[in-house]
Structure 1
Amino acid sequence: MISNAQIHFNDSGTPVADNFDDVYFSNDDGLAESNYVFFEQNGLHERFKSHPRKHFVVAETGFGTGLNFLNTWARFKQSAHNNSVERLYFMSFEKFPIKLSDLKQALEAWPTLAPLSKQLCEQYPMALQGCHRLEFNQGRVVLDLWFGDVQNSLPQIAYQRKGIVDAWYLDGFAPSKNPDMWQQTLFDSMAHLSQENATFATFTAAGFVRRGLQSAGFECKKVKGYGRKREMVVGTLIATTEHATTPQYYQQDAATLSQVAVIGGGIASSCLKYHLAKRGIKTHLFCEDDALAKGASHNLQGAVYPNLQSEYGIPSEFYAHSFLYARRFYEQLIKAGHVFDHQWCGVLLQSVNDSKKAQHEKLAASKVFPEQLIRSVDSVEAQSISSIDTPYGGLFIEQGGWVSPVQLTKSVFDAAESLTPGENHFAIHIEQLERKPDGWYLTSNKQTFGPYSDVFVCAGEHSDRFEQTKDIGIHGVRGQVSHIHEGVASSKLSTLLCHKGYFTPSQDGLHCMGATFEKHSKSRAVTEQDNVTNRQQLAGFYEGTEFDKSLGSIDSAKAAVRCCFNDHTPMIGQVQDKSDLLQAYDNIKRGKFYDFTPQVMPHKGLHIATGFGARGLCTAPLVTEHLVASLFQEPLPFSERVHEALHPARLTIRDMIRNKI
């Protein structure tokens, strides 16, 4: 679990870390120091003008108060009209993040940065380990805040044959105060993560730091330090070696993205369209329905909360960070003027039986997650939170709630259109995909569209209907949600309840209650029996309460299909051909993870984003951002292990490792 920094402010008003007995920035002029030591000595002003790529990546070894980030953002913004760089990425690592209240107080010292400081504070994340992706200025400035020891975080970053970092701010408390950070492993990781000719700057001139950087492949030199500090060290990477955290079979080549088609009309396709649009990519969207969100995204109310476990494994990391990103993303939509029904009323996970109670107690006892994300409550507090006579305690996710999936999908779509308008085709059933020498062609029963350099299939339960995607292994799980009239007691419900299913606060006099769970079905037919099942399930847990007795009749219902894979994880990325995979990586079956045959990639340019199950509202925003970032060879918001868990080759590779095929 991540602990917040313990700090105090000295007589000069400068924050001081109690654990390290060191200041976060100079007592004289921390902003001027930051600008001289890091921004100027890395030559960023000129590099923003002539950088060969559209994005530029700065990495920093100690976030502290965020002063270095804010100064870099301000300088990038000031020179925007002259920059060749369109998107600034700032990756920063922090073992002991300071509390939000301390952050606000520290940044009050820099009134010129106040507009940017305010935005940072509004999005500043809770102390949860892993990568928090914060986006500003419609995604033109991205801050990846990695909470945890930098020595542990750097190996988690997913990158391929070439590194991703263009400039390093080698910051942090002084080497004498923080020897655990200033190690050869840090310098080696910096080299591995760097692009060719990456630079670094550091305030220290300690000999072992300079020698360590030289050993890692950096050419170093001393220059004049800031203020009373006589010297500091700067340098450039000159010795590059091919190095990657991502295995070859999980790597993603850069995409052309010159002409792009998206097949689908739900929350995933709208999010994908948005992330492409904020990078200036025009999309051609094809939806077989006459409007958006008529598939799995068509419920009246959809719950938004993460599926967390008692250990910080891949599922917990995936869901926790997806949820927190989704909350920030949806709040930014609202601030931009997009309107959708929602209520951040929290989600109460009820301990309705012994199994649930044991599960909830184990999670609470693990102390993996900050209480700001999820905390234990007894039945008395649960009644206070929910405003009904529930007899159960459980876990409370305060930042959860519900949204209108239909309205939200439309809002994300509209936001994308406002950034980069596309061409949108409704009531078009795409029957066939064909790759020709000049690109991909989409065929309906009436006409053919194309060519496209890239095609994204986000068609929910229909994602496997094409010849190229028929073997992805997706299966449908049908679910029906019933709409039941509120009563006097139930109308007071002030949070979303989860028992075995879920029950929402009322909207327009109706609660959403459900959902059923029918495996291997793609039917959307509404049945009366499922309404009975939903009602009986709720009564089984709340029978005898005024809340349950007050409920009226079931007014209507909606059925949809959750799309899942056997490992309950979405699938995003380049569509794989199984025979191509088996041939290219045949050595894996012999226990050899080297000497692979190059892949032919017969479906190159065809991508998939599907399998979101029942939690697309929670996961689709960050999952689709991860996919698009990978295609642009940008820093990725998920760690290497989550990246591998999302990759379309994962199921085949796992079977090869286990010698099942």
Structure 2
Amino acid sequence: MTEPSDPKIDFLQWQEDTPYSLRSQDIYYSRQNGLAESRHVFLDHNQLAARWAALKDEPGVQFTIGETGFGTGLNFLAAWHLWNQFGFKCAYLNYVSAEKNPLTPDVLARAHRAFSEIGALSEQLCQILPPPYPGFHRRVFANERVCLTLLHDDAASAFSTLSTKVDAWFLDGFAPSRNPELWSVPLFRAVADCSAPNATFATFTSASQVRQLLQDVGFNVAKHKGYAHKREMCSGTLTLAGQNTENPSANKTGLPVSAAPWFIKRAPDCDTPIRNVTVIGAGLAGSAAASALALRGLNVTVLEAEQDIASATSGNPIGLSFVRLSTHTSAQNRYYLQAYLYALGALTGVFARAGIAEGDGWRLNGILRVFDDADEKRELEAFMATPQASYLVQALSAEQLSERAGFPIALPGAWQPGSGWMNPATVCRALLAHPNIRVHKATAAHCLAATDVGGWTLTTSQGLISADAVVIANGHSASEFQQTAHLDLRRVRGQVTKLAATPASSKLQHAINYRGYLTPAWQGTHTIGATYHPKRADTEVCSADHEENIAHLNSALPGFLAQNESQAACGGRVAFRCGSPDYLPYVGPAPIVARYIADYQDGLGKGQLKRLYPIGTCYPNLYISAAHGSRGITSSLFAAEIIAYWMLGGPPPVDTETLHALHPARFLIRNLRRRSTTPAE
């Protein structure tokens, strides 16, 4: 008996309880027992149990699995289930998997329901599975110390843009005769390039062309008894001859301009492990960085200069988890979209771990968008016409918007499920609620001094503090250190307005975005805003700015103000967004400016694009997360994952081009190419 699946997943059919691909004319896993097949082929023949038994359970220790076809996620759940049996407290499992045709949570849940022993893990996966939208998707299962990176793309393309080293490969896909792109020369070359020394592989097939391709890229290959009715399968190890053992940072002749050596991750100068990290700043960026590192087993000390956490821009009463969707595929748009998609899966876990219930300072129940700007309307309508866009946004008529808002709205708009509103201080409190994190309030960091072993000594208002690594995440003050004085940080004044809630207005359940934004009532008030004044420096709340916010609200949503007994502001707050010239944050290692000038000025300034250049020299174990602008909630969470990548290694959560676009040295390089030694534009 066959039956169709989700109408959006038109390439899948159910044959009893086994998913079947109509495109490849093949089943996703063995009808006899898919979980047993995963264990036999991929776990056993990569010797994972023995290798994990020998793995040191220390901060920074990671094991990375790469998979060429995620499918139903059954291999991932089998590996996760085995990993949990070892009870690691510090070691981390990275699982990187490509999938060109991703499935939805309901499909995965049905595919897993026959395997009760992984039922709890399946439920966790399905709850935060990313939408079937192209690109990188990061999901962290913090309690089990497991990090899943899904690459919704062709496997060869996805792994060719990934900078990581895989310890064990699950070469999975439909049969080579039915799914040839997953058994191709480009893919296996990418597999070899992404392999760690002595990486292993296992696959269910023993087809001669597959064995030959694997041997051609440097793997030895052995045949074994296959699972159930399958006669043979194969596995193997990357040989010394096949290993790309050369460390780019040790390349004596340098790298070409096309490799962007100034943004490449340099191998550590010493082998001292990172165990203790100091994060400067307890706003959104600092709290998120502290959380990501604590979840990876590090001890984190957070220094906050003010009397309480979330005291600067992060001190606004309400913020939105939100993204402006666009068809333009610039690095900026890719970063903010991937950051938003990460936040959709991460925020519920952040609040759950801290025991903060929905409604207590946050709610992720979707955002309504009103088209009061013609350009934005055209842009979003173009996005909604693209494949898979319906997973992120749906068009709404004025009548549909009015019904969801609870008051008349004259304009059409859209619905973004999964978005929501939250109090930034509540977010920070949730992120910092980890036993590995200590927060020191009223403690300002004044200067940093490097030690001889790759660590740092911080001079603070409360004395000296030592750390193996430092993350600078204190907004505008990030450029006050000698090591980061080159950063161009822009201050943009913004003011929010509070409106007293009435019984009628308190019925509003969803945040609404227009040229400004309106939030549901929280603690007796609605928040609207925010003004945007880059040339103003006054810090006092201004009545003219309240009038500006109320005028924008009245233009887009006059029906809301008609519900209120009073249209006057009952409070407000001024804060200064911290941004950069290209509206992207600075996320990554802190460059040594003098070395960049010495290494690149002569060649890049003269347009010498054919010569070779050395790897960029950055301060050891010093990182930056700053200039998140008005998108701090979504951007900071994702930036923290990028900081963890730069500091500890493992798979990056974004493609290489986007990593480079965020690099704190990007304006140094741009200006050197323009024959300028001025650090910023």
TM (normalized to structure 1)?
0.92
Q: Is the 8 A contact 2:407 2:559 kept in 1?
A: no
Aligned counterpart for 1:109 among listed residues 106, 114, 117: 114
CA 1:356 to 1:572, structure 2 compared with 1: closer, same or farther past 3 Å? closer
Query: Residues 286-305 of structure 1 correspond to what in structure 2 (within 5 A)?
Result: 286-305=303-322
Deviates more, 1:164-173 or 1:616-625: 616-625
For the structure 1 residues 632 and 352, does the alpha-carbon distance in structure 2 shift closer, same or farther, using more than 3 Å as the test?
same
The separation in 2 between residues aligned to 1:538 and 1:28, in whole angstroms, is 60
Could you tell me which of 13, 19, 33 is aligned with 2:23? 19
CA distance in 2, matches of 1:345, 1:100: 18
Q: Once the two structures are superposed, what CA deviation does each residue of 1:291-323 show, in whole Å capped at 9, x if it has no partner?
A: 111111111111111132123332332222212
Q: 1:474: how far off? A: 0.9
Determine helix, strand or coil for the equivalent of 2:368. strand
1:557 positional shift: 0.7
Change (3 A) 1:421 1:361: closer
Which residue in the other structure is 2:323 paired with? 306
The one of 57, 67, 82 equivalent to 1:60 is 67
State the match for 1:250 in structure 2.
263
Q: Confirm or deny: 8 A CA contact 1:262 1:456 kept in the other structure.
A: yes
Q: CA deviation at 1:220?
A: 1.3
2:313–2:577 contact (8 Å) kept in structure 1: yes
| Unpaired stretches in structure 1, ≥5 consecutive residues | none
The question of whether the paired residues in 2 share the 8 Å contact of 1:388 and 1:492 is answered with: no
Conserved? CA contact 2:129–2:345, under 8 Å: no
1:319 to 293, 317, 336: 336
In structure 1, the residue matched to 2:101 is 96
Alignment correspondent of 2:481: 466
Aligned length: 646
User: Are the counterparts in 1 of residues 90 and 296 from structure 2 also a CA contact under 8 Å?
Assistant: no
Q: Does 1:347 align with 2:362?
A: no
- Matched position secondary structure for 2:313: coil
**Structure 2 unaligned spans of 5+:** 1-6, 249-257
Which of 389, 392, 395 matches 1:370?
389
For residues 218-233 of structure 1, the aligned pairs below 5 Å read: 218-233=219-234
Q: Which amino acid aligns with 1:620?
A: S
- Aligned amino acid, residue 433 of structure 1: L
Number of the residue aligned with 1:266:
283
CA displacement at 1:48 relative to structure 2: 0.9
Report the residue type matching 1:351 in the other structure. Answer: F
8 A Cα contact 2:516 2:528, kept in partner: yes
2:153 partner letter: G
For 1:301 and 1:122, the matched residues in 2 are separated by 25
Q: What SS does the aligned partner of 2:369 have?
A: strand
Indicate if the aligned counterparts of 1:56 and 1:166 stay in contact, CA closer than 8 A: yes
Q: Partner of 1:140 in structure 2?
A: 145
**CA 138–321 in structure 1, closer or farther in 2 if over 3 Å, else same:** farther
The one of 313, 324, 332 equivalent to 2:349 is: 332
- Give the distance between the partners of 2:86 and 2:408, measured in 1 at CA: 59
Match of 2:14 in 1: 9
Q: Deviations over 1:375-404 (max 9, x none)?
A: 222211111222221111122212111001
Q: Give the match for residue 390 of structure 1.
A: 409
TM-score normalised per structure 2: 0.90
- 1:413 maps to which residue? 432
Moved over 6 A (4+): 243-246
Q: Distance in 1 between matches of 2:95 and 2:8?
A: 22
In 1, Cα distance between the equivalents of 2:560 and 2:170? 59
Provide the rounded CA distance (Å) in 1 between the counterparts of 2:8 and 2:661: 28
Q: Distance in 2 between matches of 1:320 and 1:551?
A: 38
Name the stretch that deviates more: 244-253 or 187-196.
Answer: 244-253
Secondary structure of the residue that 2:481 maps to in structure 1? coil
Aligned mates of 1:474, 1:217 — CA distance in 2: 47
CA contact (8 A) 1:486 1:551 kept: no
What is the RMSD of the two structures over their aligned residues, measured on CA atoms? Answer: 2.4
How far off its partner does 1:546 sit? Answer: 5.7
**Please, which of 78, 81, 90 is the counterpart of residue 74 of structure 1?**
81
Query: Residues 183-582 of structure 1 correspond to what in structure 2 (within 5 A)?
Result: 183-238=184-239, 239-241=242-244, 242=246, 247-253=260-266, 256-339=273-356, 340-365=360-385, 367=386, 369-414=388-433, 416=434, 418=435, 420-422=436-438, 424-437=439-452, 439-444=455-460, 446-487=461-502, 489-521=504-536, 523-543=538-558, 547=562, 550-582=565-597
Shift of 1:145: 1.5
1:633 corresponds to which residue? 649
Instruction: Give the deviation of 1:85 after TM superposition.
Output: 7.9
Instruction: Return the offset for 1:564.
Output: 0.5
Helix, strand or coil: the match of 1:468?
helix
Paired position in structure 2 for 1:43: 47
- Give the drift of 1:268: 1.2
* Deviation of 1:522 (Å): 5.5
Counterpart of 1:282, as a letter, is: N
Amino acid paired to 2:151? W
Q: Residue in 1 aligned with 2:167?
A: 166
1:642 aligned to which of 643, 650, 658: 658
Contact 2:262-2:616 within 8 A present in 1 as well: no
Deviations 1:242-274 (A, max 9, x none): 488964211234665343221112011111111
AA of the residue aligned to 1:281 = L
Q: How far has the Cα of 1:39 moved from its partner?
A: 0.7
Residues 199-208 or 323-332, more deviating: 323-332
Q: Greater shift after overlay, 46-55 or 36-45?
A: 46-55
Contact 1:312 / 1:368 at 8 angstroms: preserved in 2? no
Q: Could you tell me how far apart the structure 1 residues matched to 2:62 and 2:315 are?
A: 36
The residue number in structure 2 matching 1:86 is 91
The counterpart of 1:608, out of the listed 624, 631, 645, is: 624
Q: Is the 8 A contact 1:3 1:127 kept in 2?
A: no
Q: Which residue of 1 aligns with 2:3?
A: none
Going from structure 1 to structure 2, the CA distance change for 1:20 and 1:658 (only over 3 Å counts) comes to farther
SS in 1 for 2:309: coil
Secondary structure (helix, strand or coil) at the match of 1:219 reads coil
Aligned-partner Cα distance in 2 for 1:258–1:54 = 11
Cα 1:650/1:515, change in 2 over 3 Å: same
Q: Verify the 8 A CA contact 2:531 2:549 in the aligned structure 1.
A: yes
Q: Percent identity?
A: 29
| 8 A Cα contact 2:66 2:168, kept in partner | yes
Q: Could you tell me whether the CA contact under 8 Å between 1:267 and 1:293 is conserved in 2?
A: yes
Tell me the secondary structure at the aligned position of residue 608 of structure 1: strand
CA distance in 1, matches of 2:33, 2:451: 61
| Alpha-carbon displacement from aligned partner over 1:485-521 (angstroms, at most 9, x marks no partner) | 2345533333222221111122233111111111155
Taking the aligned partners of 2:659 and 2:388, their CA distance within structure 1 comes to: 21
Measure, in 1, the Cα distance between the counterparts of 2:580 and 2:563: 35
Greater mean deviation of Cα atoms: 504-513 or 296-305? 504-513
- Taking the aligned partners of 2:561 and 2:290, their CA distance within structure 1 comes to 46
